Structure 1
Protein backbone atom coordinates (compact mmCIF):
# COMPACT_ATOMS: atom_id res chain seq x y z
CA UNK A 1 0.00 0.00 0.00
CA UNK A 2 1.29 3.48 -0.82
CA UNK A 3 0.17 7.06 -0.22
CA UNK A 4 -0.29 9.33 -3.21
CA UNK A 5 -0.80 13.10 -3.25
CA UNK A 6 -2.38 14.45 -6.46
CA UNK A 7 -1.26 17.88 -7.68
CA UNK A 8 -4.80 19.14 -8.21
CA UNK A 9 -6.70 21.22 -5.65
CA UNK A 10 -8.35 20.38 -3.31
CA UNK A 11 -5.73 17.94 -2.05
CA UNK A 12 -6.71 14.38 -1.33
CA UNK A 13 -5.08 11.40 0.32
CA UNK A 14 -5.19 8.39 -1.98
CA UNK A 15 -4.30 4.92 -0.74
CA UNK A 16 -3.09 2.78 -3.63
CA UNK A 17 -2.65 -1.01 -3.66
CA UNK A 18 0.85 -1.47 -5.11
CA UNK A 19 0.02 -4.98 -6.31
CA UNK A 20 -3.00 -4.09 -8.42
CA UNK A 21 -2.72 -0.32 -8.81
CA UNK A 22 -6.24 -0.01 -7.45
CA UNK A 23 -7.11 3.09 -5.40
CA UNK A 24 -8.41 1.68 -2.11
CA UNK A 25 -9.38 5.01 -0.56
CA UNK A 26 -9.62 8.60 -1.82
CA UNK A 27 -9.96 11.01 1.10
CA UNK A 28 -10.44 14.80 0.85
CA UNK A 29 -8.21 16.55 3.39
CA UNK A 30 -8.96 19.59 5.52
CA UNK A 31 -6.96 22.69 4.42
CA UNK A 32 -4.55 22.40 7.35
CA UNK A 33 -3.53 18.91 6.21
CA UNK A 34 -3.83 19.30 2.45
CA UNK A 35 -0.19 19.93 1.56
CA UNK A 36 0.99 16.56 2.94
CA UNK A 37 4.45 18.12 3.28
CA UNK A 38 5.15 15.56 6.01
CA UNK A 39 5.19 12.00 4.70
CA UNK A 40 2.26 10.00 6.17
CA UNK A 41 3.09 6.75 7.96
CA UNK A 42 1.24 3.45 8.30
CA UNK A 43 0.57 1.86 11.68
CA UNK A 44 -1.98 -0.28 13.49
CA UNK A 45 -4.61 1.35 15.66
CA UNK A 46 -7.10 -0.75 17.61
CA UNK A 47 -6.38 -3.72 15.42
CA UNK A 48 -6.86 -1.93 12.09
CA UNK A 49 -4.29 -0.52 9.64
CA UNK A 50 -4.39 3.28 9.58
CA UNK A 51 -2.50 6.19 8.06
CA UNK A 52 -1.21 8.99 10.31
CA UNK A 53 -1.26 12.46 8.73
CA UNK A 54 0.29 15.63 10.19
CA UNK A 55 -0.90 19.15 9.47
CA UNK A 56 1.68 21.72 8.39
CA UNK A 57 -0.27 24.84 7.45
CA UNK A 58 -1.63 25.47 10.95
CA UNK A 59 -0.85 23.96 14.36
CA UNK A 60 -3.04 20.97 14.96
CA UNK A 61 -3.09 17.34 16.02
CA UNK A 62 -1.89 14.34 14.04
CA UNK A 63 -4.96 12.57 12.67
CA UNK A 64 -5.64 8.98 11.60
CA UNK A 65 -7.46 7.57 8.57
CA UNK A 66 -8.54 3.96 8.17
CA UNK A 67 -6.28 2.48 5.46
CA UNK A 68 -9.10 0.35 4.04
CA UNK A 69 -12.03 2.76 4.04
CA UNK A 70 -10.44 6.21 4.34
CA UNK A 71 -12.67 6.98 7.33
CA UNK A 72 -11.17 9.47 9.77
CA UNK A 73 -10.67 8.03 13.25
CA UNK A 74 -11.65 9.65 16.53
CA UNK A 75 -8.19 9.31 18.11
CA UNK A 76 -5.79 12.23 17.59
CA UNK A 77 -2.25 12.88 18.79
CA UNK A 78 -1.90 16.38 20.20
CA UNK A 79 1.24 18.51 19.78
CA UNK A 80 -0.02 21.34 22.05
CA UNK A 81 1.82 23.90 19.90
CA UNK A 82 3.76 24.05 16.65
CA UNK A 83 3.61 21.64 13.74
CA UNK A 84 5.23 18.29 12.97
CA UNK A 85 7.93 18.00 10.32
CA UNK A 86 8.55 14.25 10.60
CA UNK A 87 6.62 11.14 11.65
CA UNK A 88 8.01 7.71 12.46
CA UNK A 89 6.75 4.39 13.78
CA UNK A 90 8.36 1.54 15.68
CA UNK A 91 7.97 -0.69 18.71
CA UNK A 92 8.79 -0.11 22.38
CA UNK A 93 8.45 -3.05 24.76
CA UNK A 94 6.12 -4.84 22.35
CA UNK A 95 3.87 -1.82 21.75
CA UNK A 96 3.61 -0.10 18.40
CA UNK A 97 4.31 3.60 18.79
CA UNK A 98 3.99 6.80 16.78
CA UNK A 99 6.72 9.44 17.07
CA UNK A 100 6.63 13.03 15.86
CA UNK A 101 9.15 15.86 15.79
CA UNK A 102 9.08 19.37 14.45
CA UNK A 103 8.94 23.05 15.24
CA UNK A 104 7.82 22.43 18.82
CA UNK A 105 11.48 21.58 19.56
CA UNK A 106 10.97 18.10 20.88
CA UNK A 107 9.95 14.56 20.06
CA UNK A 108 6.65 13.16 21.27
CA UNK A 109 6.04 9.41 21.37
CA UNK A 110 2.58 7.90 21.80
CA UNK A 111 1.13 4.42 22.17
CA UNK A 112 -0.35 3.90 18.69
CA UNK A 113 -3.24 1.82 20.01
CA UNK A 114 -4.44 3.98 22.90
CA UNK A 115 -3.11 7.42 21.95
CA UNK A 116 -1.46 7.80 25.38
CA UNK A 117 1.75 9.84 25.38
CA UNK A 118 4.71 7.74 26.50
CA UNK A 119 7.67 10.11 26.16
CA UNK A 120 8.47 13.76 25.53
CA UNK A 121 12.12 14.04 24.49
CA UNK A 122 14.09 17.29 24.25
CA UNK A 123 17.00 16.83 21.84
CA UNK A 124 19.78 19.42 21.67
CA UNK A 125 19.37 21.94 18.86
CA UNK A 126 16.11 23.11 17.28
CA UNK A 127 13.64 21.84 14.67
CA UNK A 128 13.65 18.05 14.66
CA UNK A 129 13.94 16.83 11.07
CA UNK A 130 14.53 13.07 11.41
CA UNK A 131 13.57 10.29 13.84
CA UNK A 132 14.31 6.57 13.91
CA UNK A 133 13.49 3.83 16.40
CA UNK A 134 15.59 0.74 16.96
CA UNK A 135 17.47 -1.30 19.58
CA UNK A 136 20.80 -1.04 21.36
CA UNK A 137 21.97 -3.94 23.53
CA UNK A 138 18.41 -5.25 23.68
CA UNK A 139 16.85 -1.94 24.78
CA UNK A 140 14.71 0.24 22.52
CA UNK A 141 16.24 3.57 21.50
CA UNK A 142 15.17 6.67 19.59
CA UNK A 143 17.59 8.53 17.31
CA UNK A 144 16.88 12.18 16.49
CA UNK A 145 18.41 14.86 14.27
CA UNK A 146 17.84 18.59 14.61
CA UNK A 147 18.36 21.24 11.94
CA UNK A 148 19.28 24.49 13.73
CA UNK A 149 22.40 24.10 15.88
CA UNK A 150 22.11 20.58 14.53
CA UNK A 151 22.73 17.50 16.63
CA UNK A 152 22.29 13.78 16.13
CA UNK A 153 21.33 12.23 19.45
CA UNK A 154 20.15 8.87 20.80
CA UNK A 155 17.76 8.36 23.72
CA UNK A 156 16.67 5.34 25.72
CA UNK A 157 13.08 4.78 24.58
CA UNK A 158 11.92 3.52 27.98
CA UNK A 159 13.23 6.15 30.40
CA UNK A 160 13.96 8.97 27.93
CA UNK A 161 17.56 9.40 29.07
CA UNK A 162 20.28 10.32 26.52
CA UNK A 163 22.55 7.49 25.40
CA UNK A 164 26.08 8.85 25.10
CA UNK A 165 26.81 12.35 23.83
CA UNK A 166 25.08 14.22 21.03
CA UNK A 167 27.01 14.53 17.75
CA UNK A 168 27.46 18.15 16.68
CA UNK A 169 26.59 18.41 12.97
CA UNK A 170 25.88 22.15 12.98
CA UNK A 171 29.45 23.46 12.91
CA UNK A 172 30.15 22.31 9.38
CA UNK A 173 29.96 24.79 6.51
CA UNK A 174 27.55 24.49 5.00
CA UNK A 175 25.81 22.94 8.03
CA UNK A 176 24.84 19.29 7.62
CA UNK A 177 21.04 18.89 7.56
CA UNK A 178 20.09 15.26 8.17
CA UNK A 179 16.91 14.27 6.33
CA UNK A 180 16.55 10.66 7.49
CA UNK A 181 17.93 8.29 10.12
CA UNK A 182 18.08 4.55 10.69
CA UNK A 183 19.25 2.59 13.72
CA UNK A 184 21.18 -0.41 12.44
CA UNK A 185 24.08 -2.76 13.14
CA UNK A 186 27.68 -2.14 12.06
CA UNK A 187 29.91 -5.13 12.74
CA UNK A 188 29.24 -5.84 16.43
CA UNK A 189 28.01 -2.36 17.35
CA UNK A 190 24.80 -0.37 17.16
CA UNK A 191 25.06 2.48 14.68
CA UNK A 192 22.99 5.40 13.44
CA UNK A 193 22.93 5.70 9.65
CA UNK A 194 21.96 9.09 8.23
CA UNK A 195 21.24 10.76 4.92
CA UNK A 196 23.27 12.54 3.60
CA UNK A 197 25.48 9.45 4.12
CA UNK A 198 27.00 9.39 7.59
CA UNK A 199 27.47 6.60 10.13
CA UNK A 200 27.92 7.00 13.88
CA UNK A 201 28.61 4.20 16.37
CA UNK A 202 26.38 4.44 19.45
Structure 2
Protein backbone atom coordinates (compact mmCIF):
# COMPACT_ATOMS: atom_id res chain seq x y z
CA UNK A 1 0.00 0.00 0.00
CA UNK A 2 1.31 3.42 -0.98
CA UNK A 3 0.48 6.87 0.41
CA UNK A 4 0.78 10.01 -1.73
CA UNK A 5 0.64 13.56 -0.38
CA UNK A 6 1.56 17.12 -1.28
CA UNK A 7 0.37 20.64 -0.61
CA UNK A 8 0.74 24.39 -0.95
CA UNK A 9 4.39 24.27 0.11
CA UNK A 10 5.70 21.27 -1.83
CA UNK A 11 5.06 18.83 -4.64
CA UNK A 12 3.95 15.21 -4.38
CA UNK A 13 5.84 12.55 -2.40
CA UNK A 14 5.21 8.81 -1.93
CA UNK A 15 5.56 6.57 1.13
CA UNK A 16 5.27 2.84 1.79
CA UNK A 17 2.22 2.88 4.06
CA UNK A 18 3.25 -0.32 5.89
CA UNK A 19 6.83 0.59 6.73
CA UNK A 20 6.64 4.38 6.61
CA UNK A 21 9.62 4.42 4.23
CA UNK A 22 9.85 7.33 1.81
CA UNK A 23 9.72 5.91 -1.73
CA UNK A 24 10.16 9.13 -3.64
CA UNK A 25 10.52 12.61 -2.19
CA UNK A 26 10.13 16.06 -3.63
CA UNK A 27 11.91 19.36 -3.54
CA UNK A 28 10.24 22.52 -2.32
CA UNK A 29 10.54 24.08 -5.77
CA UNK A 30 8.38 21.33 -7.30
CA UNK A 31 4.81 21.75 -8.49
CA UNK A 32 2.49 22.55 -5.59
CA UNK A 33 -0.42 20.14 -5.18
CA UNK A 34 -4.06 21.24 -5.20
CA UNK A 35 -5.46 17.67 -5.29
CA UNK A 36 -4.19 14.08 -5.42
CA UNK A 37 -6.20 10.92 -6.18
CA UNK A 38 -5.35 7.21 -6.36
CA UNK A 39 -5.81 5.54 -9.75
CA UNK A 40 -6.83 1.88 -10.13
CA UNK A 41 -4.87 0.28 -12.94
CA UNK A 42 -6.81 -2.99 -12.80
CA UNK A 43 -3.68 -5.07 -12.17
CA UNK A 44 -2.89 -4.10 -8.59
CA UNK A 45 -0.39 -1.44 -9.64
CA UNK A 46 -0.31 1.85 -7.77
CA UNK A 47 -0.61 5.11 -9.66
CA UNK A 48 -1.70 8.58 -8.67
CA UNK A 49 -2.95 11.70 -10.44
CA UNK A 50 -2.28 15.24 -9.25
CA UNK A 51 -3.12 18.81 -10.21
CA UNK A 52 -1.67 22.12 -9.09
CA UNK A 53 -4.55 24.58 -9.38
CA UNK A 54 -3.36 28.05 -10.33
CA UNK A 55 0.30 27.03 -10.01
CA UNK A 56 0.31 25.00 -13.23
CA UNK A 57 -2.09 23.91 -15.99
CA UNK A 58 -2.71 20.21 -16.56
CA UNK A 59 -2.91 16.84 -14.83
CA UNK A 60 0.07 14.66 -13.92
CA UNK A 61 -0.06 10.84 -13.73
CA UNK A 62 2.58 9.34 -11.42
CA UNK A 63 4.03 5.90 -10.72
CA UNK A 64 5.54 5.91 -7.20
CA UNK A 65 8.90 4.58 -8.35
CA UNK A 66 12.25 6.22 -7.71
CA UNK A 67 13.44 8.06 -10.81
CA UNK A 68 10.18 7.76 -12.78
CA UNK A 69 8.76 10.76 -14.62
CA UNK A 70 5.06 11.69 -14.62
CA UNK A 71 2.86 11.59 -17.71
CA UNK A 72 1.08 14.86 -18.51
CA UNK A 73 -2.55 15.24 -19.61
CA UNK A 74 -2.87 18.70 -21.20
CA UNK A 75 -5.58 20.75 -19.55
CA UNK A 76 -6.38 24.24 -18.31
CA UNK A 77 -6.26 25.13 -14.60
CA UNK A 78 -7.46 22.09 -12.60
CA UNK A 79 -8.58 22.40 -8.97
CA UNK A 80 -10.06 18.98 -8.22
CA UNK A 81 -9.84 15.37 -9.43
CA UNK A 82 -11.80 12.11 -9.40
CA UNK A 83 -10.88 8.65 -10.67
CA UNK A 84 -12.59 5.41 -11.67
CA UNK A 85 -12.13 2.29 -13.75
CA UNK A 86 -14.78 1.14 -16.26
CA UNK A 87 -14.71 -1.13 -19.30
CA UNK A 88 -10.99 -1.80 -18.88
CA UNK A 89 -10.21 1.93 -18.90
CA UNK A 90 -8.59 3.95 -16.09
CA UNK A 91 -10.47 7.27 -16.07
CA UNK A 92 -9.75 10.68 -14.57
CA UNK A 93 -12.35 13.41 -14.09
CA UNK A 94 -10.84 16.91 -13.89
CA UNK A 95 -12.68 19.96 -12.58
CA UNK A 96 -11.24 22.94 -14.47
CA UNK A 97 -12.03 26.67 -14.44
CA UNK A 98 -13.98 26.17 -17.70
CA UNK A 99 -15.67 22.77 -17.49
CA UNK A 100 -15.42 19.17 -16.34
CA UNK A 101 -13.35 16.85 -18.54
CA UNK A 102 -13.06 13.06 -18.62
CA UNK A 103 -9.80 11.39 -19.69
CA UNK A 104 -8.62 7.88 -20.46
CA UNK A 105 -5.27 7.88 -18.67
CA UNK A 106 -3.65 5.03 -20.60
CA UNK A 107 -4.42 6.34 -24.10
CA UNK A 108 -4.45 10.07 -23.30
CA UNK A 109 -7.88 10.31 -24.97
CA UNK A 110 -10.28 13.03 -23.84
CA UNK A 111 -13.68 11.30 -23.65
CA UNK A 112 -15.91 14.29 -22.82
CA UNK A 113 -16.04 17.99 -21.97
CA UNK A 114 -19.01 18.90 -19.76
CA UNK A 115 -20.26 22.41 -19.04
CA UNK A 116 -22.37 23.60 -16.12
CA UNK A 117 -25.50 25.65 -16.71
CA UNK A 118 -27.72 27.75 -14.46
CA UNK A 119 -31.24 28.78 -15.54
CA UNK A 120 -30.30 28.26 -19.17
CA UNK A 121 -27.23 30.49 -19.01
CA UNK A 122 -23.72 29.21 -19.58
CA UNK A 123 -21.71 29.32 -16.36
CA UNK A 124 -18.72 27.40 -17.66
CA UNK A 125 -16.27 29.71 -15.88
CA UNK A 126 -17.76 28.78 -12.50
CA UNK A 127 -15.17 27.07 -10.34
CA UNK A 128 -15.63 23.33 -9.72
CA UNK A 129 -15.05 22.40 -6.06
CA UNK A 130 -15.40 18.60 -6.31
CA UNK A 131 -15.97 15.91 -8.93
CA UNK A 132 -16.81 12.21 -8.83
CA UNK A 133 -17.53 9.32 -11.21
CA UNK A 134 -19.78 6.28 -10.79
CA UNK A 135 -21.28 3.56 -12.96
CA UNK A 136 -24.92 4.34 -13.78
CA UNK A 137 -26.66 1.44 -15.51
CA UNK A 138 -24.76 0.86 -18.74
CA UNK A 139 -23.23 4.35 -18.64
CA UNK A 140 -21.11 6.59 -16.44
CA UNK A 141 -22.45 9.25 -14.09
CA UNK A 142 -20.20 12.31 -13.74
CA UNK A 143 -20.89 14.65 -10.79
CA UNK A 144 -19.58 18.16 -10.22
CA UNK A 145 -20.02 20.52 -7.25
CA UNK A 146 -19.84 24.19 -8.31
CA UNK A 147 -19.15 27.54 -6.63
CA UNK A 148 -22.87 28.13 -6.17
CA UNK A 149 -23.26 24.90 -4.20
CA UNK A 150 -25.08 23.11 -7.04
CA UNK A 151 -24.39 19.45 -7.84
CA UNK A 152 -24.64 18.75 -11.57
CA UNK A 153 -24.98 15.21 -12.96
CA UNK A 154 -24.22 13.99 -16.49
CA UNK A 155 -24.55 10.44 -17.82
CA UNK A 156 -22.14 9.32 -20.54
CA UNK A 157 -22.25 6.12 -22.58
CA UNK A 158 -19.85 3.48 -21.31
CA UNK A 159 -16.41 4.07 -22.85
CA UNK A 160 -15.58 1.98 -25.89
CA UNK A 161 -13.15 -0.92 -25.38
CA UNK A 162 -9.53 0.18 -25.43
CA UNK A 163 -8.26 0.46 -29.01
CA UNK A 164 -4.80 -0.10 -30.45
CA UNK A 165 -2.80 2.76 -31.99
CA UNK A 166 -3.62 1.37 -35.46
CA UNK A 167 -7.35 1.26 -34.70
CA UNK A 168 -7.23 4.84 -33.41
CA UNK A 169 -5.37 6.03 -36.52
CA UNK A 170 -7.91 4.36 -38.83
CA UNK A 171 -10.85 5.87 -36.94
CA UNK A 172 -9.25 9.34 -36.96
CA UNK A 173 -8.76 9.09 -40.73
CA UNK A 174 -12.39 8.02 -41.28
CA UNK A 175 -13.71 10.83 -39.09
CA UNK A 176 -11.50 13.42 -40.79
CA UNK A 177 -12.76 12.35 -44.24
CA UNK A 178 -16.36 12.58 -42.98
CA UNK A 179 -15.79 16.06 -41.49
CA UNK A 180 -16.40 14.79 -37.93
CA UNK A 181 -14.51 15.86 -34.78
CA UNK A 182 -11.43 13.93 -33.73
CA UNK A 183 -11.97 10.88 -31.50
CA UNK A 184 -10.90 12.80 -28.40
CA UNK A 185 -13.50 15.54 -28.96
CA UNK A 186 -17.18 15.10 -28.07
CA UNK A 187 -19.54 14.97 -31.09
CA UNK A 188 -22.04 17.24 -29.35
CA UNK A 189 -22.49 19.06 -26.10
CA UNK A 190 -23.80 16.76 -23.37
CA UNK A 191 -26.39 18.35 -21.10
CA UNK A 192 -26.86 17.61 -17.38
CA UNK A 193 -29.56 14.95 -16.98
CA UNK A 194 -31.55 16.91 -14.40
CA UNK A 195 -31.68 20.03 -12.25
CA UNK A 196 -29.25 20.17 -9.30
CA UNK A 197 -30.16 18.24 -6.14
CA UNK A 198 -32.93 20.05 -4.26
CA UNK A 199 -33.56 20.08 -0.51
CA UNK A 200 -30.18 20.78 1.09
CA UNK A 201 -30.20 22.86 4.24
CA UNK A 202 -27.59 25.47 3.36
CA UNK A 203 -24.73 25.32 0.88
CA UNK A 204 -23.19 22.05 -0.35
CA UNK A 205 -19.43 22.03 0.18
CA UNK A 206 -18.36 18.41 -0.49
CA UNK A 207 -19.49 15.23 -2.24
CA UNK A 208 -18.54 11.55 -2.54
CA UNK A 209 -19.90 8.43 -4.26
CA UNK A 210 -20.86 5.08 -2.72
CA UNK A 211 -22.62 1.93 -3.90
CA UNK A 212 -25.45 0.71 -1.66
CA UNK A 213 -27.44 -2.42 -2.56
CA UNK A 214 -25.87 -2.36 -6.06
CA UNK A 215 -27.02 1.20 -6.79
CA UNK A 216 -24.83 4.32 -6.84
CA UNK A 217 -25.60 7.10 -4.38
CA UNK A 218 -24.06 10.52 -3.78
CA UNK A 219 -23.25 11.69 -0.26
CA UNK A 220 -23.07 15.47 0.21
CA UNK A 221 -22.41 18.03 2.98
CA UNK A 222 -23.00 21.02 4.50
CA UNK A 223 -25.53 18.83 6.22
CA UNK A 224 -24.93 15.17 5.38
CA UNK A 225 -27.43 13.89 2.82
CA UNK A 226 -27.65 10.80 0.61
CA UNK A 227 -29.04 10.96 -2.95
CA UNK A 228 -30.10 8.27 -5.40
CA UNK A 229 -28.32 8.99 -8.70
CA UNK A 230 -31.03 7.22 -10.68
CA UNK A 231 -33.71 9.82 -9.87
CA UNK A 232 -31.87 12.61 -8.05
CA UNK A 233 -34.01 12.31 -4.92
CA UNK A 234 -32.87 12.12 -1.31
CA UNK A 235 -33.06 8.49 -0.13
CA UNK A 236 -33.33 9.33 3.55
CA UNK A 237 -33.67 12.21 5.97
CA UNK A 238 -30.52 14.31 6.62
CA UNK A 239 -27.96 12.45 8.76
CA UNK A 240 -27.86 14.65 11.84
CA UNK A 241 -25.20 14.85 14.51
CA UNK A 242 -22.76 17.55 13.42
CA UNK A 243 -23.31 20.86 15.21
CA UNK A 244 -21.78 22.92 12.40
CA UNK A 245 -21.22 22.77 8.65
CA UNK A 246 -19.63 19.62 7.17
CA UNK A 247 -16.50 20.42 5.16
CA UNK A 248 -15.46 16.98 3.90
CA UNK A 249 -17.16 13.66 3.16
CA UNK A 250 -15.46 10.47 1.97
CA UNK A 251 -16.88 6.97 1.48
CA UNK A 252 -15.43 3.52 2.10
CA UNK A 253 -16.37 0.11 3.50
CA UNK A 254 -16.15 -1.02 7.12
CA UNK A 255 -16.73 -4.67 7.94
CA UNK A 256 -18.07 -5.15 4.44
CA UNK A 257 -20.67 -2.37 4.85
CA UNK A 258 -20.67 0.94 2.93
CA UNK A 259 -19.97 3.91 5.18
CA UNK A 260 -19.54 7.67 4.88
CA UNK A 261 -17.03 9.58 7.00
CA UNK A 262 -17.69 13.28 7.56
CA UNK A 263 -15.64 16.06 9.18
CA UNK A 264 -17.06 19.44 10.14
CA UNK A 265 -16.44 22.86 11.58
CA UNK A 266 -17.54 21.48 14.95
CA UNK A 267 -14.16 19.66 15.05
CA UNK A 268 -15.72 16.21 15.01
CA UNK A 269 -15.43 13.25 12.66
CA UNK A 270 -18.47 11.01 12.29
CA UNK A 271 -18.94 7.63 10.61
CA UNK A 272 -22.33 6.85 9.03
CA UNK A 273 -23.58 3.36 8.14
CA UNK A 274 -25.16 3.66 4.70
CA UNK A 275 -26.45 0.07 4.55
CA UNK A 276 -29.46 -0.12 6.95
CA UNK A 277 -32.70 -0.37 5.00
CA UNK A 278 -34.31 2.04 7.47
CA UNK A 279 -32.29 4.82 5.82
CA UNK A 280 -33.82 4.27 2.41
CA UNK A 281 -37.08 4.58 0.58
CA UNK A 282 -38.92 1.39 -0.32
Q: Scaled by the length of structure 2, what TM-score is found?
A: 0.57
> Is the 1:129–1:180 Cα contact (8 Å) retained in structure 2?
no
C-alpha distance 70-191 of structure 1, shift in aligned 2 (>3 A): same
1:170-185, aligned counterparts within 5 Å?
A: 176-185=203-212
Which of the pair is proportionally richer in helix? 2
Q: Secondary structure at the match of 1:51?
A: strand
- Give the distance between the partners of 1:63 and 1:30, measured in 2 at CA: 16
Superposed CA RMSD in Å reads 3.0
C-alpha distance 140-6 of structure 1, shift in aligned 2 (>3 A): closer
Q: Counterpart in 2 of 1:28?
A: 27
Which of the pair is proportionally richer in strand? 1
Matched, 1:111 2:141: no
- Give the superposition deviation at 1:14: 1.8
- Give the distance between the partners of 1:111 and 1:52, measured in 2 at CA: 12
Q: Secondary structure at the match of 1:61?
A: strand
Q: Deviation digits for residues 102-122 of structure 1, max 9, x if unmatched? A: 322x11111010111011111
Matched, 1:96 2:90: yes
> Is the 1:27–1:70 Cα contact (8 Å) retained in structure 2?
no
Highest Rg: 1 or 2? 2
How many matched pairs? 188
- Give the distance between the partners of 1:39 and 1:161, measured in 2 at CA: 26
Point out which structure has higher relative CO (alpha carbons under 8 A, 6+ apart).
Answer: 1
Show structure 1 runs of 5+ residues with no match.
Answer: none
- Give the distance between the partners of 2:214 and 2:87, measured in 1 at CA: 23
Equivalent residue for 2:49, pick from 38, 49, 52: 52
- Give the distance between the partners of 1:52 and 1:188, measured in 2 at CA: 27
Show structure 2 runs of 5+ residues with no match.
Answer: 118-122, 159-189, 230-282
1:182-193, aligned counterparts within 5 Å?
A: 182-185=209-212, 190-193=216-219
Matched, 1:167 2:197: yes
Q: Scaled by the length of structure 1, what TM-score is found?
A: 0.77
- Give the distance between the partners of 1:69 and 1:144, measured in 2 at CA: 34
